[in-house]
Structure formats: C-alpha cells, structure tokens
C-alpha cells in the first residue's frame, strides 16, 4: 500500500519527542521571551511586563504540550519579577495591583494553554480522520486496480446486465468470447447484439436468475458465424451501482472440451460394439469348434475298443484322445465365458458336500497330475462339509485350480489340496511348489486373458480365461478365490472360500 511521505501538521508537533527535549525547548522559549521583553523595556517601561510570555505560552502549548507551556509561564513569572527588580522598575504601583497583574497573567495564560491544547487535539483528531480516509481511498484504488487486472486476465468472460438484459459492463475476455468489442455491447440489449437463437437462450436464462434470487448454472449453446459454440455459464443476481436489479454472468467456452467428450463417447460406443461383436464371434466359434469334438472323441474310444495290436496305432489313439480332451476343455471354458458375459449361466443350486465336489474335480485333474508325475496330497475332514451350490460348477472351479497347479509346477512337483471348514466358511486350498506368481501379477491373473508370461504359457495350452471363469463362478456362489505366492519360482496357493451351507440358508432367509 502506498503511504504519503509528506508529514501532516500533527506529525510536525514536538509532543512525540522525549519530555526533556520538550522542557528544554520550553526553557529556550523562556530565555527568548525574557530577552525580547528586556529589549522592549526602553519603549514599554513597566507596561505589559508579561507581553512576550503570552505568545510563548501559546506556541509551547500548541507544539510541546501543556506541561512545557506551564513551565514557561511559571519561569516567566519568576524571570519577569527578577528582571523588573534588577532594572529597578516596579511591577506595579502597589503590591495589590502587582498581585492582580500576576494573577491576570496566570489566568490568561492558563486559558490560552487550555484552548491551545484543545485546539491541538481537535486538529489531530481531524487530521487522523483525514489520514484514515486518505488511506481508505488509496486502498480502494489499489483494490480497483487489482480487480481490473483480474477481470481482464481471467479466462472467463464476465458481464453485468441490467434487468432488461442491457450490458452495463463486459471484460476483455467476454469481448473475445463473443467476438464483439465492448463498444458494441455496452448500453445495448442482448437481442440487439446477438443472433436471435443465441439472444433467446441467453435472455431466457438471465430472466430465470432474478426470480430465483440465487446463482444458477447453465450450458449455453449457440452458433456464431456457422460455428457451434458451447459455454458453461454461471449467473447470479447482483444489483447495479445505482441499486437497481442486475445479473452478473461468468461464461467459459467449453466447445473444445465438449467435442473431446463427444469423440470419447463415440469411440467408447465403437469399442463396446467391437467388444460385443468379439463376444458373439467367440460364442459362435466355440460352438462350431465344440460340435465336432464329441464325435471325434467317441470315434477314438470306438477304435480303442477294437484293441489294435499295433503299439504305434494305440499310441496314436492315445494322443488323439488326450489332445481332444484338452481341446474340449479349452472350448468349454470359452463357451462358459461367453455365457457368463451374456449372463446366461444359471446355477443349479443344491446342498452339496464340498468333499464330493473336490473328488469330482480330482477325477478330472488326475490324468494331468499323473502325466507330470506330481505328488498329490489331499486332506479333508471326516464329516461332510456342506455348501450351497451347483455341484458341476463347484467341481469345475476346483478342477481349474488343480489343473493350473499341475500345469505351472515342473514335473515331479508336489500339490496339496486341503478342504477345511472354519466357522461360517468353507475353504478349499490348492498349494503347489511350482513356478509361482510375481507379486505385481497376483491380482491381474484374475483378469480376462491375463497370463504372467504369455509366450511360455502358450506352450502349456491356456487362454488366460480359466481363473476369470473360476473367480466369477465363485462370486456367483457368494464366495471368492484368493491367490498367494512368495514370488516367482516359490510356488503358489489358491484358496476358494465359500459360505458354509447353514450360513447360506440364513442369508437367504434374511433376504
Ligand atoms: P491359463 O489358461 O493361462 O492357465 P488361467 O486364467 O487359468 O489361464 O491363469 C492365468 C495365469 O495365472 C496363467 O497364465 C499363469 O500365468 C498364472 N497361474 C495360474 N495358476 C498358477 C499356478 N498354480 N502357479 C503359477 N502361475 C499360475
């Protein structure tokens, strides 16, 4: 804030100085007044002995305060008495007149001091008030300058309209936004400045603000010179300088943002459409692939029944049978996935002993385990552990986990499968000492088509959908699968959690 360097009359006073300085000045005044009175003695004689002390007292009272002035008056009384006695001039003809003269001097100077101090205080108060208002004006000017800088530099068009939609103020960004100079806007109504469609829209929105009595936000769309522009506008009631009603508006051009959003929406729609077509294609493809597999498998079984004597023929039949089963499993997974994504999988729920589901899963997985010569350890409780669910789907989930354990463990590994009940939940834990899962992939492997190392996984015959499928089926059963691994090469543990059957009953009862 600017502060004037010019001292005010109040600041010129001696009252701000230390007391001894002010009293020192008072003594100097006494000496000067005495000296002057002595110089005037030949002309004045015994008349007006205190003449020079009246102005001295007044000046001191004004500039140095009442104390130094009183000191000067006192010192003047003594000084004049002494001066007159030395000069041999009587102060007055008789002692009574002398006394009265001195009394008159004291009373008059006291009144003068009092008046001077009073006047001084008044002046100081007036100067103080003037100073305050001068600073307020300066501050106001500064605020105005700041406001102007802000108004001209914000990326928002700001305008003030009266109740008849007439422009009272516009900032420079608004001029640019509306492609019109302020001279074309100020004092004119919206309808006189903008094309009819824009004017109708702007005007209609403005007219909603005053009755509402609060800030309203609008998206205003208009066409300038054949170009469609979109503005985000905030309008608020704000009286004009004369107190009449007005509307303050703030508008930002969001055309580019809107266009980007539109493009994003279009590309999202295209992506969704492509995704839908891909799902349809996968569904159709898996159907077409699945159809010939059953007859091929039956044919190999039929040929095997004939027990061909040639060992090479038996070997070939064995290979065909095994590979067709692998293919069938993959295609079945694909079919299930497309059913899941289109919400066409229905669970045939019943009370199932989890041990039975586990046994069915192991039957499916055993050939794979044996082929890789893994050691399989199975632990299950003696009494049944019931869950509510679809036996086939539950077996499918567990088989998926055990197959993975067999696939992702180097030959001769160890797979432990444990079924446990813990309070209100049932757990089937499949642990292996295989290649493990790196920490950064542990969550991602449940995503569709996710594989830790797609080049090596390809050789193990997988599509990266088994865990997605298993997890979704687990969720449909009110459960989930959790994966843990100490890292690459350090084995993994996949645990399927399911609600125990009594709990499932209770939940359904509560629902
Ligand atoms: P895939 O058909 O590739 O086996 P999944 O969805 O069943 O697909 O598994 C996804 C990925 O998770 C696998 O490609 C593999 O990288 C990793 N994975 C699954 N189970 C195991 C396991 N027991 N040990 C190590 N990695 C595993």
Structure confidence by residue, pLDDT tens digits, 378-405: 999 999 999 999 999 999 999 999 999 9
3-state SS, residue 220: strand
Which of 6-20, 139-153, 265-279, 439-453: highest mean pLDDT? 265-279
Give residue 180's pLDDT: 87
Q: How many residues can be counted in the chain?
A: 511
10 Å CB burial of residue 415 (0-12, 13-18, 19+) is buried
The CA-based dihedral angle spanning residues 429, 433, 438, 441, taken in that order and rounded to the nearest 10 degrees? -40
**Cα dihedral angle (348, 350, 354, 356), rounded to 10 degrees?**
-80
Distance (Å, whole) CA 32 – CA 311: 146
Which pLDDT score, from 0 to 100, does residue 7 have?
Answer: 45
pLDDT over threshold 50, residue 195:
yes
Average pLDDT over residues 393-420: 96
The predicted model gives 129-148 an average pLDDT of: 90
Q: Return the bridge partners of 227, or none.
A: 224
Q: How many angstroms is it from 142 CA to the middle of ligand 1?
A: 70
Mean per-residue pLDDT over the chain, rounded = 87
Opening angle at CA 123, ends 117 and 124, nearest 5? 90
For the chain, percent of residues with pLDDT exceeding 70: 93
List ligand 1's pocket residues with C-beta within 6 A: 404-405, 408, 432, 434-437, 445, 450-452, 457, 462-468, 492
Residue 18 has pLDDT above 90, yes or no: no
Distance from the alpha carbon of residue 476 to the mean position of ligand 1, in angstroms:
21
- Among the atoms of ligand 1, which is closest to the Cα of residue 464? 8
The shares of helix, strand and coil residues in the chain, as percent rounded to the nearest 5, are 60, 15, 25
- Cα-Cα-Cα-Cα torsion 292, 296, 298, 300, nearest 10 degrees, comes to 180
Reported confidence tier of residue 280, pLDDT bands at 50, 70, 90: confident
Ligand 1: centre distance to CA 407 (Å): 8
Average pLDDT of 322-350? 86
Q: Are 251 and 177 in contact (CB under 8 A)?
A: yes
Q: What is the mean pLDDT of residues 276-293?
A: 86
Token match 């000492």: residue?
Answer: 433
CA distance 206 to 220: 11
The residue ranking higher by pLDDT, 435 or 194, is 435
Give 1's pLDDT tier (boundaries 50, 70, 90). very low
Q: Which pLDDT band holds residue 460 (cuts at 50, 70, 90)?
A: low
What b/e string do you get for 225-236 counting C-beta neighbours within 10 Å, with b at 16 or more? Answer: eeeebbbbbebb
pLDDT above 60 (res 2)? no
SS3 168: strand
* 61-73 per-position pLDDT tens digit: 888 888 999 999 9
* CA 436 – ligand 1 centroid, Å: 9
- Bridge-partner residues for 220, per DSSP? 231
> Which atom of ligand 1 lies at the shortest distance from residue 452's CA?
16
DSSP 8-state secondary structure symbol assigned to residue 245 = -
The burial class, CB within 10 Å (0-12 / 13-18 / 19+), for 111 is exposed
For a mutational test of ligand 1's pocket, the pick from 466, 485, 496, i.e. the residue with the most ligand atoms closer than 8 A to its C-beta, is: 466
Helix or strand run (H / E) with residue 248: strand 246-253
Choosing from 451, 455, 469 the residue with most ligand 1 atoms within 8 A of its CB, the one to mutate for a pocket test is 451
- Mean pLDDT value of segment 212-221: 93
Judged by average pLDDT, the poorest of 71-75, 153-157, 247-251, 458-462 is 458-462
Looking at residue 284, what is its pLDDT? 85
- Tokens representing 112? 């003068």
Q: How confident is the model at residue 5 (pLDDT cuts 50, 70, 90)?
A: very low
């Amino acid at each position: 804030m600017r502060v004037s360097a010019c001292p005010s009359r109040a600041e010129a006073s001696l009252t701000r100085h230390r007391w001894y300085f002010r009293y020192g000045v008072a003594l100097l005044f006494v000496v000067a007044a005495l000296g002057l009175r002595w110089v005037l003695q030949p002309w004045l004689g015994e008349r007006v002995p205190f003449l020079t002390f009246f102005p001295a007292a007044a000046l001191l009272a004004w500039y140095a305060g009442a104390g130094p002035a009183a000191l000067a008056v006192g010192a003047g009384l003594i000084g004049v008495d002494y001066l007159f006695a030395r000069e041999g001039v009587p102060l007055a003809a008789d002692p009574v007149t002398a006394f009265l003269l001195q009394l008159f001097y004291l009373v008059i100077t006291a009144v003068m001091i009092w008046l001077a101090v009073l006047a001084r205080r008044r002046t100081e108060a007036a100067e103080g008030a003037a100073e305050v208002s001068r600073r307020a004006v300066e501050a106001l000017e500064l605020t105005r300058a700041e406001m102007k800088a802000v108004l001209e530099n914000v990326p928002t068009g700001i305008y003030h309209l009266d109740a008849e939609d007439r422009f009272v103020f516009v900032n420079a960004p608004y001029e640019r936004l509306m492609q019109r100079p302020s001279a074309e806007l100020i004092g004119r109504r919206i309808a006189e400045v903008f094309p009819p469609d824009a004017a109708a829209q702007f005007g209609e929105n403005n007219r909603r603000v005053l009755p509402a009595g609060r800030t309203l936000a609008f998206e205003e769309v208009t066409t300038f010179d054949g170009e469609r522009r979109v503005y985000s506008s905030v309008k608020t009631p704000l009286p004009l300088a004369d107190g009449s009603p007005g509307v303050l508006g703030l508008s930002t051009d969001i055309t580019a943002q809107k266009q980007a959003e539109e493009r994003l929406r279009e590309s999202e729609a295209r992506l969704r459409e492509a995704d839908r077509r891909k799902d349809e294609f996968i569904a159709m493809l898996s159907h077409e692939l699945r159809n010939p597999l059953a007859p091929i498998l039956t044919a190999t079984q039929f040929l095997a029944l004939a027990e061909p004597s040639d060992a090479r023929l038996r070997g070939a039949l064995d290979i065909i049978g095994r590979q067709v089963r692998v293919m069938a499993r993959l295609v079945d997974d694909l079919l299930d996935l497309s059913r899941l994504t289109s919400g066409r999988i229905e669970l045939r729920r019943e009370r199932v002993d989890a041990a039975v589901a586990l046994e069915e899963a192991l039957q499916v997985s055993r050939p794979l385990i044996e082929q890789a010569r893994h050691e399989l350890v199975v632990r299950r409780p003696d009494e049944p552990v019931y869950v509510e669910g679809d036996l086939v789907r539950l077996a499918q989930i567990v088989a998926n986990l055990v197959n993975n354990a067999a696939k992702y463990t180097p030959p001769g590994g160890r797979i432990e499968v444990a079924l446990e009940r813990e309070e209100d939940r049932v757990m089937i834990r499949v642990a292996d000492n295989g290649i493990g899962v790196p920490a950064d992939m542990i969550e991602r492997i449940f995503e569709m088509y996710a594989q830790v190392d797609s080049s090596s996984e390809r050789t193990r015959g997988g599509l990266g959908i088994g865990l997605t499928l298993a997890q979704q089926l687990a969720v449909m059963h009110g459960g989930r699968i959790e994966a843990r691994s100490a890292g690459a090469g350090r084995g993994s543990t996949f645990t399927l959690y399911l609600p125990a059957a009594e709990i499932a009953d209770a939940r359904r009862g509560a629902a």
